[in-house]
Amino acid sequence: MLKTETPSVRHAQLDQYADADLVGAFVDDQLQAVHAVRRAAPEISAAIAAAVPRLQAGGRLLYVGAGTSGRLGVLDSVELYPTFSWPHERAVALLAGGAGAMFQAVEGAEDNAEQGAEDIKAVTPGPHDVVFLLAASGGTPYVLGALAAARQAGALTIGIANNRDAPVAMRADIGITLDTGEEVISGSTRLKAGTSQKIALNTISSALMVRLHKVYGNLMVDLQATNAKLVQRAVRLTMHATGVDEATARATLEQCRYHVKTAIVALLNGQTPEQAEAVLAQAGGSVRAALASDRTN
């Protein structure tokens, strides 16, 4: 029996716990998700190293999963644009059962390997694309079908599972096993198995964005200021990075169409927004390199 399906001997009387003990059991068990991701750090690092050159060459991030795993893939994909200005078309999530399965379970969809293969083929993966195959059990047919098709197309495949020796991890180019063990509620992989996948995806996609110069220091300088909260965040980030007052930061951001990267370079290099944009382009989008380039010229 898969460890994710094995009843926990620690909580055999869960339904009789007092409220405080019930909360403690769930919260304490989540800590195992962190430990599982930490143990998989070498494989996660290898995935990041393999993915960066492909994305630099124009590749996409493709996510494939079913149920909770698939929904976590969707979540990771949709958050990349507002956080890092990562283009929508370069973060594509495929969920067994289609988009409607994000809100209502589509029973049996995960058992269709052929549909998984067809769905991934429909987005025409190529050698520069990076495909995340997510399955807590590690043997979901829909995901395995997509994995086979993605490998045949030459894409980099990264399999993420919560059981050792799982097919999705063994057959992928890079396998990441998040060994979270038995769940507090037997078989409910929306618990710590899901938490570990969320942590792993956060770690991988965020690290990729750092490597792709979406971050300066630890500041998210490539965000999309699409609402009042994010406009104010852009102002604060610009102030923090440059030391200017709020009025100067806001005025410069307005001239730079609220692109924080451009505003930082313009302020610190003493350049116009157009000059700052050009220097950033020459530096491959790296704020640090754009600033260093100005000092050497």
Question: What does the DSSP assignment read for 204-227?
Answer: HHHHHHHHTT-EETTEETT----S
Point out which residues pair with 64 in neighbouring strands: 94, 133
Question: Residues with Cβ < 8 Å from 229, sequence gap 6 or more?
Answer: none
Q: What is the pLDDT of residues 277-289, one digit of tens each?
A: 999 999 999 999 9
Could you tell me how many residues make up the chain?
A: 297
Q: Which residues of 46-70 are buried (b: 16+ CB within 10 A; e: fewer)?
A: ebbeebbebbeeebbbbbbbbbbbb
Whether 110 sits among the annotated catalytic residues: the reply is yes
Q: Regarding beta strands 215-216 and 174-177, do their DSSP bridges make them parallel or antiparallel, or are they unpaired? A: unpaired
User: Does the fold of domain 215-296 match that of domain 3-211?
Assistant: no
Task: Mark the ranges of the chain whose per-residue pLDDT is less than 70.
Answer: 294-297
Q: How many CB atoms neighbour CB 9 within 10 A?
A: 7
Task: Considering the domain delimited by 3-211, tell me its CATH architecture.
Answer: 3-Layer(aba) Sandwich (3.40)
Whether 79 sits among the annotated catalytic residues: the reply is yes
What is 122-168 written as a DSSP string? HT---TT-EEEEEESSS--HHHHHHHHHHHHTT-EEEEEESSTT-HH
Q: Nearest-CA neighbor of 179 among 194, 168, 163, 190? A: 163
Q: Which CATH number fits domain 215-296: 3.30.70.3450, 3.40.50.880, 3.40.50.1980, 1.10.8.1080?
A: 1.10.8.1080
pLDDT given at position 113: 97
43, 110, 183, 277: the active-site residue? 110
Question: Residues with Cβ < 8 Å from 255, sequence gap 6 or more?
Answer: 263, 266, 273
**Domain limits, the chain:** 3-211, 215-296
Read off the pTM. 0.94
pLDDT given at position 132: 98
pLDDT given at position 294: 63
